[in-house]
Amino acid sequence: MRLLLLSAAALTAASALAATPCVLDNAQVQAITPDGSTIVSVWGGTVALYDAATGELTAEYSDEGEGYTIGQGPLISEDGTMVGATPFGAAYLRDGVWTELNVPNKGLGSYAMGITPDGKMIVGNVGLTPVSIDDAAVPMMAGAYWTLQDDGSYSDCHVLPYPQTDLTGRVPQYVTAIIPSDDKKTIYGQVVDYSGSLITLITYTQSDDNEWSYNVDNKLINPDGIVFPPDPGEAPEWVNPENYMTEDEIIDYLDAVNNYDWESDDPYPMHTDFMTEEEKAAYESDLAAYNAALAEWQEKFNALLDVLDECIMSGHSLEFNKLLLSPDKKSIVSATAIIEEDPDSWLGVSETATPISINLENGTLDIKEPLGVDPTVICEDGTIFGFINGDWRNAAVYKPGAETPVSIYAYMQEVNPETAAWMKENMFHSIEMYNFETGEFEMLDDVEFTGTPFASPDKSVIACAVQNIWEDMGPAIYTYVFSGSPSGVNGVVADNGISVKALKGGIVEIDGEYSAIAVYDLNGANVFASAAAGTSVATGLESGVYVVKVSAEAGDVTVKALF
């Protein structure tokens, strides 16, 4: 009942937002709480919470503007516990207080990424070795979890098992944990390969005897099963000529370099010019052996890079820290880059972001047409919100089952014309842009600035973070908070193919064969019931939040609705 009541409050707030959306200055929405009541902003190292209905700042956490962040997985439990990190590492926020989680190496960085709905498990990432470009025997970070104790605190850190090598045979950069399953038996994360170029899904599972194992989906990033040649290891160590010289010889060499007359025809000083014949012979012998070893190593390394490039071109690498679990728990959604040859690019290739869905039951992939959309959230009915990068970001929406997106403005014109009208007035601006073809600045009018969108699970509250580039003065970034669908339900389609849509005035639209409809208030009382009565059912109910149950031979459909 607690969650249902929270949802009612959120939907009521969203209804109030329809007329006058909130504008938050210097706030960058990164999440909306599941009940739709709170906007979570992360901006400049500060985590801030805003009331979604009023725009009031309700809490702010900062350490001189740096160090606070939030998780990238399921962020908040049913009791309101939120996960993230303080300047000191992985932590959780409960009742206004951040509490650090136990980590094995406190100085190496750590993050709490996700929490189960019941709050009994937090997952995240902990440092194993300092971040460095130097090789190490273990990844820089590994996945971990913490469990809720009887006293309300969380357990010591449990580091999850991780692969010692990636698909290339080298040590991965990172192995992460982002999403815990509701039953706490499965955790989803990512493996970032040694080069940082290939990111794939790792699934951890716990057996009946509480032992954890993992499966890495290398087929995702190496669909053709290309066999990598052996890793040649480190390149041969360079032969330093100064190791063959005395200290006085090195000083004489450096003096000659520093006093060299660049206008003369004299040869430039070389180390060998200051060696004895014995030193020179030893150095040149070792140098020849080094050059031969380097050529052999380079050939092997290039062979490995050739296969790596093939995987980069043919595989489907995921976006780092971007994992979204579908509402039905049957698939993971991320972003991938479609890479194609592009003679107009100085790199010779171009990359286009697009959503990718991985079926967790059979591993099949659903990749949207590459139109540059990076997903941010999946809603209860399967709607995907995301953004398109260009000179600035604009929000886009995939309706359930759609292969191509629409702009968020076009989407709002359909589901909430009042909000769409407000967006047109407040989120379209004139901007001066440099035209590289003409070499002159020109004014563009009526330009859409809708930024990066987030939404509550039922789409009743939507918020967009928009970088401010149209004003010379003013906040660096705005977050706009507005109502989505005026009802809590907009075209929910169940597995049995029945579509249920709630409208203002107590109307329920049903598409599909059904036998009966029943409506309940938030106290569980049956306030309307009818046998099948066509595609449009007038319940006669007053405005408010209800639960609608549609019965059908293929199975029941139950949804929340705001009339």
For residue range 82-102, list pLDDT tens digits in order: 999 999 999 999 999 999 999
532 vs 508, more confident: 508
- Alpha carbon distances (Å) from 317 to 223, 339, 351: 11, 10, 12
Percent residues over pLDDT 70 in the chain: 91
**Any idea which of 9-13, 175-179, 249-253, 474-478 has the lowest mean pLDDT?**
9-13
pLDDT of residue 7: 38
Mean pLDDT of 166-181: 95
What does each C-alpha distance from 308 to 195, 294, 313, 316 come to in angstroms? 9, 20, 9, 13
- pLDDT tens digits, residue range 234-276? 899 999 999 999 999 999 999 999 999 999 999 999 999 999 9
For Cα atoms 130, 132, 138, give the angle at the middle one, nearest 5 degrees: 60
Consecutive H or E run containing 255: helix 247-258
pLDDT of residue 318: 96
Residue 222 has phi, psi (to 5 degrees) of: -140, 65
Per-residue model confidence (pLDDT) at position 493 = 52
Query: Over the chain, what is the mean pLDDT?
Result: 88
Contacts 24+ apart (CB under 8 A), 270-277: 271/241, 271/242, 271/244, 271/245, 272/241, 274/245, 274/249, 274/250, 275/241, 275/244, 275/245, 275/249
Identify the H or E element spanning 11.
helix 2-17
Question: Where do we find the tokens 């009940």?
Answer: 35
Q: Which residues contact 60 (CB under 8 A, 6 or more apart)?
A: 46, 47, 48, 49
Q: How confident is the model at residue 197 (pLDDT cuts 50, 70, 90)?
A: very high
Question: Does residue 140 carry a pLDDT above 60?
Answer: yes
| Per-residue pLDDT band at 345 (split at 50, 70, 90) | low
CB atoms within 10 A of CB 62: 15
For the chain, give the longest Cα–Cα distance. Answer: 105
pLDDT band at residue 561 under the 50/70/90 scheme? confident
Q: Which pLDDT tens digit goes with each residue over 498-519?
A: 788 777 678 888 888 888 998 8
Instruction: Determine how β-strand 212-216 pairs with β-strand 97-100.
Output: unpaired
Token pair in block for residue 185: 């038996």
Taking a C-beta distance cutoff of 8 angstroms, is the pair 37, 10 a contact?
yes
Contacts of 320 (CB under 8 A, 6+ apart): 190, 192, 199
Least confident piece of the model among 51-60, 124-133, 477-486: 477-486
Answer whether 193's CB lies under 8 Å from 231's CB.
Answer: no
In this prediction, residue 3 carries a pLDDT of: 30
Q: Quick one: pLDDT at residue 486? A: 58
Q: How far is CA 234 from CA 134, 190, 237, 293, 297, in A?
A: 10, 26, 8, 11, 9
The whole-angstrom separation of Cα 1 and Cα 4 is 5
- The span from the CA of 410 to the CA of 397, in Å, is 9
Which of 125, 126, 93, 117 has its CA nearest to residue 181? 117
Residue 563 has pLDDT above 50, yes or no: yes
Q: Which two tokens stand for residue 417?
A: 């014309």
Residues with Cβ within 8 Å of 150's Cβ and at least 6 positions away in sequence, in order, are: none
Say if residue 495's pLDDT is above 80. no
| Rounded (10°) angle between helices 408-415 and 417-426 | 140
Strand order in the sheet with 526-531: 526-531, 516-520, 545-551, 557-562
Q: Kindly give, in sequence order, each residue whose CB lies less than 8 Å from that of residue 377, ignoring residues fewer than 6 positions away.
A: 324, 384, 385, 453, 454, 455
DSSP state of 148: B
Average pLDDT over residues 481-508: 69
Q: Which helix (H) or strand (E) holds 309?
A: helix 277-314
Evaluate if residue 14 carries a pLDDT over 60. Answer: no
Residue 7 or 138, more confident: 138
User: Do 561 and 501 meet the contact criterion of CB atoms below 8 Å apart?
Assistant: no
DSSP-assigned letter for residue 279: H
- Distance between CA atoms of residues 492 and 327, nearest Å: 12
Cα separation, 324 vs 398, in Å, equals 15
Q: What pLDDT, on the 0 to 100 scale, is given for residue 441?
A: 86
Torsion of CA 275, 279, 281, 286, to 10 degrees: -110
> For residue 250, what are its two tokens?
């090195």
Q: What percent of the chain has pLDDT over 90?
A: 64
Let me know: does 431 contact 401? Beta carbons within 8 Å. no
What stretches of 449-489 adopt beta strand conformation (E)? 452-455, 461-467, 477-483
Q: Is the pLDDT of residue 347 over 70?
A: no
The arithmetic mean of pLDDT across residues 365-383, rounded, is: 92
- Whole-angstrom CA distances from 126 to 39, 113, 182, 453 are 27, 11, 22, 29
Q: Could you give the angle at the alpha carbon of 380 between the alpha carbons of 456 and 118, nearest 5°?
A: 75
Provide long-range contacts, Cβ within 8 A and 24+ apart, for 443-451: 448/394, 448/407, 448/409, 449/392, 449/394, 450/393, 450/394, 450/395, 450/407, 450/408, 450/409, 450/423, 451/387, 451/392, 451/393, 451/394, 451/395, 451/478, 451/480
